Structure 1
């Protein structure tokens, strides 16, 4: 297992006020934690935000957003 995957389990902190700010105001916050980015991306997806916009708001590559959405669909189907 890579170091990146090993650290994935430690993504346990997220600032709800930062996430709310990004989702409600649609303004970028690249200081979100990894968990915060994932939560914000999910909440923006629920609002039908385009992938490119989500990526710009949370500071990740659009491919990351596509991957997260695919993972979420797979988890929902299980």
Structure 2
């Protein structure tokens, strides 16, 4: 990973309060950081939220959510 990527704030920080609004209140937030999106997607998956709704809430494509879920299954195995 390049120095630019390591220093980019959006890749390494997440606001748990913003994530809670998305997960608990189901309010869309397309301003989440990259890490925030991943955390929100994981928490929504734990609540059995459909992929298309997760994608809409966090502002990513459904393919991205499917990819994240597949990556998590691989790392859990």
Per the normalisation by structure 1, the TM-score is 0.87
How many residue pairs get aligned? The number is: 74
Q: Any gaps of 5 or more consecutive residues in structure 1?
A: none
> Unaligned 5+ residue runs, structure 2?
none
Query: Which segments of structure 1 move beyond 2 Å, counting only runs of 4 or more?
Result: 6-10
- Aligned equivalent of 2:22: 22
TM-score (norm 2): 0.88
The corresponding residue for 2:53 is 53
1:29-73 C-alpha deviation (Å, 9 max, x unpaired)? 000000000000000000000000000000000000000000000
Aligned residues: CA RMSD: 1.9
